[in-house]
Amino acid sequence: MSQRTVTIGSKVGLHARPAKLFTTAAAATGTKVLIAKNGGTPVDASSILRVMTLGAKFGEEVTLTAEGEGADAALDGLAEMLASDLDAVAE
């Protein structure tokens, strides 16, 4: 199982536009990706509602996990997204 811990870079956290961009990218990986905040219960990273219920704010850490072929590459790309200010990209 591959895992990455990343600090949320979006000033508004993982809410609305940043969550939409992230979940769309997670779904496009073709790999089941899970995301958890502060060691909490992991949720499906391709579900916007589940990701938004994490309440991940700017500067907080989340952990991404995935299994299978392409998991490392998928997590690298998703971690890079989360570390950036996705709200600025969405505008």
pLDDT in tens, 39-69: 899 999 999 999 999 999 999 999 999 998 9
Report whether pLDDT(27) > 60.
yes
Task: For residue 14, give both structure tokens.
Answer: 């993982």
Residues marked active site are found at 15
> What pLDDT score does 89 carry?
62
Cα 60 to Cα 55: distance, rounded to the nearest angstrom: 10
Give the pLDDT score at 71: 96
All structural domains of the chain: 2-90 (3.30.1340.10)
Maximum alpha-carbon separation in the chain: 34
* pLDDT band (50, 70, 90) for residue 86: confident
Rounded to two decimals, what is the model's pTM?
0.92
Q: Measuring CA to CA, how many Å separate 83 from each of 4, 58, 76?
A: 11, 10, 11
The helix/strand/coil state of 84 is coil
